[in-house]
């Protein structure tokens, strides 16, 4: 870890906040609808976020020298590599909740806003909050592996869920606050007055509302909560790694923020490829098992010092090789339906 001290210069803070807020607002305006994001659109936005990050690195180079710029780029690249795991877990969460494609970018937008806030808290507190991280990571590893098994058993069933009343997330959440067991457009919450009208519809016959509560959460909100929790749990892995690069709060937080801002569009690149490449989902499931193993090994090494860990570079290599295998398998062995359609 290299020692630097740039503090919080007003100009640097203004540029950092200006670029981050401006880019976020642009992203919000551009993607405020519920239209499904295309591969071309997601790719362009991914390049945009990388360009924004490099522009800030150029600013740091000019005003604070090559060492500070190098630390920022190192932290940014490390966070980007570690964030790749998030993408596959996001895919698993959406498959678990059977969220329609057009609503996923809304969840990811607010999920990433939450990730920015939580990482800011983690960086402010430092490594003290991360002391109990290994135990949390072990539990998270089990959850990721279980999610991969659920995806494997579902066999790629992407049908939209009509009624969430039997979903484990709904059954748990309704013990804590009022929840409506169906999607209600793109809303995270819906008022009791609106739901009283919904109860009159034939398809909702037999359903009732909780005795108390004027505002009811929807399954979309429950999915958002799970995404936020996964973001926090991944922070136990990524925050210490970036802090190890530099203890300078501005460098650490800016590197993490710019890496996270591009995460949503990276997800849609992968999701779009999955639609075109029929065997890519199998590669994603394999990677979920790998992520669970990596989290478990790294966490238990902190607790028991057994010496077996998977470093970020090895992890990235395994991820890339697995994705390439999934892509090649899709090209060599296309879907049977497509092949039969072509023969007709």
Residue 252 placed within a domain: yes
The helix/strand/coil state of 174 is coil
Task: DSSP letter for 179, please.
Answer: B
| Residue 209 sits in the same domain as residue 233 | no
- pTM equals 0.83
Query: In this model, does residue 269 exceed pLDDT 70?
Result: yes
In a domain, residue 322? The reply is: yes
Task: Kindly state whether residues 187 and 275 are assigned to the same domain.
Answer: no
Would the pLDDT of 101 be above 80?
A: yes
Give residue-wise pLDDT tens across range 170-185.
Answer: 999 988 899 999 999 8
- Distance of alpha carbon 344 from alpha carbon 340, whole angstroms: 6
Provide, rounded to the nearest whole percent, the portion of the chain with pLDDT above 70: 90
User: Where does 98-132 have alpha helices with state H?
Assistant: 101-125
308 Cβ contact list (under 8 Å, min separation 6): 297, 301
Are residues 90 and 205 located together in one domain of the fold? no
| Best CA proximity match to 173, nearest among 229, 125, 236, 123 | 229
104, 240: one domain: yes
Give the closest residue to 29 by CA, choosing from 124, 109, 84, 101: 109
Secondary structure letter of residue 37 according to DSSP: P
Q: Which two tokens stand for residue 41?
A: 């659109």
Q: Which residue has the higher pLDDT, 115 or 4?
A: 115
The answer to the question of residue 2 being in a domain is no
User: Token digits for 199?
Assistant: 């109860």
- Looking at the structure, tell me whether residues 128 and 188 fall in a common domain: no
Of the ranges 124-138, 204-218, 285-299, which one carries the lowest mean pLDDT score? 124-138
Q: Is residue 172 part of a domain?
A: yes
Query: Given the structure tokens 């457009």, which residue do they identify?
Result: 185
Q: Verify that 135 and 200 share a domain, yes or no.
A: no
Pairs from 167-174 (Cβ < 8 Å, separation ≥ 24): 167/97, 167/219, 169/97, 169/219, 169/222, 169/223, 169/226, 170/219, 170/222, 173/217, 173/222, 173/225, 174/210
In angstroms, the first-to-last Cα distance of the chain is 63
Q: Mind listing the pLDDT tens digit for each residue in 180-200?
A: 999 998 899 999 999 988 888
The residues pairing with 189 across neighbouring beta strands, listed in sequence order, are 217
Q: How far apart are CA 56 and CA 62, in angstroms?
A: 10
Structural domain containing residue 66: 10-160+219-339
9-60: pLDDT as tens digits: 889 999 999 998 888 788 777 766 677 788 888 899 899 999 999 999 999 9
202 has a pLDDT exceeding 70 = yes
User: Is residue 285 located within the same domain as residue 203?
Assistant: no
**Has residue 127 got a pLDDT over 60?**
no
* Dihedral in degrees, nearest 10, Cα atoms 31, 37, 43, 45: 0
Residues 225 and 295 in one domain: yes
CA atoms 246, 247, 251, 253: torsion sign: positive
Mean pLDDT, range 74-99, rounded to an integer: 88
User: Which pLDDT band holds residue 133 (cuts at 50, 70, 90)?
Assistant: low
Give the pLDDT of residue 276.
Answer: 83
Select the more confidently predicted residue: 318 or 163.
318
Say whether pLDDT at 337 is over 70. no
What's the helix, strand, coil split of the chain in %, to 5? 75, 0, 25
Same domain, 213 and 183: yes
Same-domain pairing of 38 and 133: yes
My answer on whether 186 and 197 are in the same domain is yes
Q: Mean pLDDT across the stretch 239-244?
A: 76
Section 235-251 average pLDDT: 78
CA distances from 159 to 27, 35, 67, 176, 260 (A): 29, 18, 51, 28, 29
DSSP string spanning 240-283? Answer: HHHHHH---HHHHHHHHHHHHHTHHHHHHHHHHHHHH-TTHHHH
Which of 135 and 31 is assigned the larger pLDDT?
135
Residue 215 β-bridge partners = 191
- Quick check: 219 and 161 in contact, CB under 8 A? yes
Residue 344 lies in a domain: no
Structure tokens at 309: 């860990």
Give one word for 185, left, alpha or beta, with left for phi > 0 and alpha for psi -120 to 50: left
Per the structure, the count of domains in the chain is 2
DSSP label of 51: H
Q: What is the mean pLDDT of the chain?
A: 84
Q: Quick one: pLDDT band at residue 131, thresholds 50, 70, 90?
A: low
Q: Does 231 share its domain with 334?
A: yes
pLDDT given for residue 227 in this prediction: 92
Maximum Cα interatomic distance, the chain, rounded to a whole number of Å: 68
């Amino acid at each position: 870890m290299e020692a630097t001290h740039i503090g919080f210069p007003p100009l640097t803070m203004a540029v950092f906040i200006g670029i981050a807020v401006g880019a976020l607002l642009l992203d919000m305006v551009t993607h405020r609808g519920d239209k499904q994001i295309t591969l071309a659109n997601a790719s362009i936005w991914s390049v945009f976020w990388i360009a924004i990050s490099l522009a800030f690195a150029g600013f740091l180079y000019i005003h604070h020298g090559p060492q500070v710029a190098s630390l920022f780029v190192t932290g940014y690249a490390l966070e980007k590599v570690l964030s790749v795991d998030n993408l596959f877990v996001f895919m698993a969460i959406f498959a678990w909740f059977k969220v329609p494609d057009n609503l996923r970018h809304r969840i990811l937008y607010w999920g990433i806003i939450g990730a920015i806030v939580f990482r800011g808290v983690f960086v402010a507190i430092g490594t003290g909050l991360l002391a109990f991280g290994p135990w949390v990571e072990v539990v998270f590893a089990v959850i990721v592996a279980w999610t991969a098994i659920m995806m494997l058993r579902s066999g790629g069933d992407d049908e939209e869920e009509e009624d969430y009343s039997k979903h484990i997330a709904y059954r748990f959440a309704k013990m804590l606050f009022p929840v409506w067991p169906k999607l209600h457009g793109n809303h995270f919450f819906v008022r009791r007055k609106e739901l009283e009208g919904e109860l009159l519809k034939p398809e909702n016959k037999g359903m009732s509302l909780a005795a108390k509560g004027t505002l009811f959460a929807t399954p979309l909100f429950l999915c958002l909560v799970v995404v936020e929790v996964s973001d926090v749990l991944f922070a136990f892995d990524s925050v210490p790694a970036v802090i190890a690069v530099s203890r300078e709060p501005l460098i650490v937080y800016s590197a993490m923020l710019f890496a996270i801002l591009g995460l949503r569009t990276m997800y849609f690149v992968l999701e779009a490829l999955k639609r075109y490449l029929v065997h890519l989902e199998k590669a994603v499931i394999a990677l979920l098992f790998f992520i669970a193993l990596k989290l478990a090994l790294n966490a238990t090494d902190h607790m028991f010092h057994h010496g077996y860990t998977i470093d970020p570079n090895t992890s990235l290599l395994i991820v890339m090789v697995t994705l390439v295998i999934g892509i090649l398998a899709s090209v060599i062995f296309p879907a049977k339906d497509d092949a039969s359609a072509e023969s007709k």
